[in-house]
Amino acid sequence: MILQLDIERLRSLDEVRDFMAGSAPVDFRFLDRADAYGFARRVLVRFRYVRLSRPGKGLIRRFLIKVTGFSRAQVSRLISQYRETGRIEDRRRGPKRPFPQRYTKADIRLLAEVDETLGGLCGAVTRRMMQRQYEVFGDPRFERLAGLSNSHLYRLRQSVTYRRRRLTVTRTRATQVSIGERRKPHPAGRPGFLRVDSVHQGDLDGEKGLYEINLVDEVTQYEFVAAVEGISERFLVPALQGLIEAFPFVVQGFHADNGSEYINHRVAALLRKLQVEEFTKSRPRRCNDNALVESKNASVVRRYLGYDHIPRHHAALVNGFLRDVLAPYLNYHRPCHFPVEKTNAKGRIRKTYPFDNVTTPYLKLKSLDGAALSLRSGVTFEQLDQEALALDDLAAAGTVNDALVALFAEIRRRDATVA
């Protein structure tokens, strides 16, 4: 893409500032160093550089660096020359006996025009077309470029003259994010290895719905859910901290899919702060890496909150239900299936779900070897027993149902009041 600068459109520092921010529709190009020097002098004269304040001088300096492509030191030298003499000249001293230059600046500019027309083809195709342009169609401008070698073509494309003539825009390349280790967690029968996923309550008429953040322990299936207004760092990081601290045992690992709401520096810093040792993320084309929490999304979150739109401003109300009513029921009263893994003759792991292994997450935690050692400081099984036995299973389920009815009635009442 070849761009042409219309300097007359930049008449104030505010317009220059907009251009630097990328919001002003100004295009530019320079054919050679003399054009760049002339442009730099016109800018310094137009904006009366010597009379500007320090911030204004800094803005003009950054503008010249961006537009001319010169280094900061080179722009400083040009400004010093302008302040001393009022002119900007090329003071470089070339060698006394310079090597002969086979391809002139005009040839390089012609190559840039060819690449612009062809869309930047490979070297061999470009060479052949320039050769045909001279030999078949008789264009005298390509006399020297007709014999250009492949390697030298690429060297010319890296020259300053070429890069000033032609701006090449490339697609953004995918980058590897170094946050989190890409593997499946291996808890080895220990509690504290959490899986996380997000559930969205949908949009309606352009209004965003709230999100549920679902955390499940892989070994015990202990589960805590929180509702947030959005999955930006502002809402997500405090919710994650509250969820992780709600688990009665020490959290040792945190596993997420590859969503940017979890794979970012803020979440990584939170995990370091909470002394979570392992931060892992799902592998590509391994859909089972985060299957446990995804199944809980359906069997727990969707089962109780459904698929209907819940406006985001109800996040605090929903969060109270999830924290105070649903979480105790899930962890102390709702039984879960726990698999038994067996390796068959072909070396494949098969999972079975015997009835004897159907139990609550809390009882599963108590059954683990050394379970008391995994509890957080200040938490004991005596305290947890009191919470677990405060209600029987059916009474706890009835409490959840009553609270759920009251929750949606309150949501409808508030929405009707606003309307």
Higher pLDDT, 252 or 26: 252
pLDDT of residue 366: 93
pLDDT of residue 29: 55
Higher pLDDT, 339 or 206: 339
Residue whose structure tokens are 């537009």: 67
* Residue 361 near residue 327, CB atoms below 8 Å: no
Residue whose structure tokens are 């020097």: 37
pLDDT of residue 176: 60
Q: For 212-232, how does the pLDDT look when each residue is reduced to its tens digit (9 = 90+)?
A: 999 999 999 999 999 999 888
For residues 12-22, average pLDDT: 78
User: HEC string of 196-242?
Assistant: EEEEECCCECCECECEEEEEEECCCCCEEEEEECCCCHHHHHHHHHH
For residues 122-139, average pLDDT: 87
For residues 141-147, average pLDDT: 90
* Residue 221 near residue 250, CB atoms below 8 Å: no
CA 147/CA 400 separation, integer angstroms: 82
Distance (Å) of CA 51 to CA 32, 56, 66, 83, 185:
29, 9, 22, 11, 64
SS3 317: helix
Higher pLDDT, 165 or 282: 282
Q: For 161-197, how does the pLDDT look when each residue is reduced to its tens digit (9 = 90+)?
A: 888 777 655 555 555 657 878 888 889 889 999 999 9
Task: For 189-418, give the CATH class.
Answer: alpha beta
Residue whose structure tokens are 């059954």: 367
For residues 10-19, average pLDDT: 79
pLDDT of residue 25: 45
Q: For 227-279, how does the pLDDT look when each residue is reduced to its tens digit (9 = 90+)?
A: 999 888 889 999 999 999 999 999 999 999 888 888 888 999 999 999 998 99
Phi-psi region at 411: left, alpha or beta (left = phi > 0; alpha = psi -120 to 50): alpha
Return the domain boundaries, the chain.
7-85, 105-165, 189-418
In this structure, are strands 253-256 and 193-200 parallel, antiparallel, or unpaired?
Answer: parallel
Q: For 71-114, how does the pLDDT look when each residue is reduced to its tens digit (9 = 90+)?
A: 899 899 999 999 888 888 887 766 666 677 888 888 999 998 88
Q: Tokens for 374?
A: 């995994």
Q: What is the DSSP string of 152-204?
A: HHHHHHTSHHHHHH-----PPPP----SSEES----TT-S-EEEEEEEE---B
CA 208/CA 228 separation, integer angstroms: 12
Higher pLDDT, 121 or 44: 44
pLDDT of residue 2: 37
Half-sphere exposure of 237 (CA within 13 A, CB side): 16
H/E stretch holding 291 reads helix 291-296
pTM of the model as a whole: 0.59
Query: Closest by alpha carbon to 388, among 357, 373, 356, 366?
Result: 366
CA 134/CA 21 separation, integer angstroms: 44
Q: Where are the beta strands (DSSP E) in 265-311?
A: 278-281
pLDDT of residue 379: 92
pLDDT of residue 381: 93
Residue 345, C-beta contacts closer than 8 angstroms, at least 6 positions apart: none
Distance (Å) of CA 102 to CA 95, 99, 148, 152, 156:
17, 9, 10, 11, 12
pLDDT of residue 3: 40
For residues 51-59, average pLDDT: 90
CA angle 292, 343, 277 (to 5 degrees): 45
CA 134/CA 141 separation, integer angstroms: 8
H/E stretch holding 56 reads helix 54-68
Q: What is the DSSP string of 344-391?
A: -TTS-EEEE--GGG-B-HHHHHHHSTTHHHHBPTT--HHHHHHHHTSS
The confidence band for 409, taking pLDDT boundaries of 50, 70 and 90, is very high
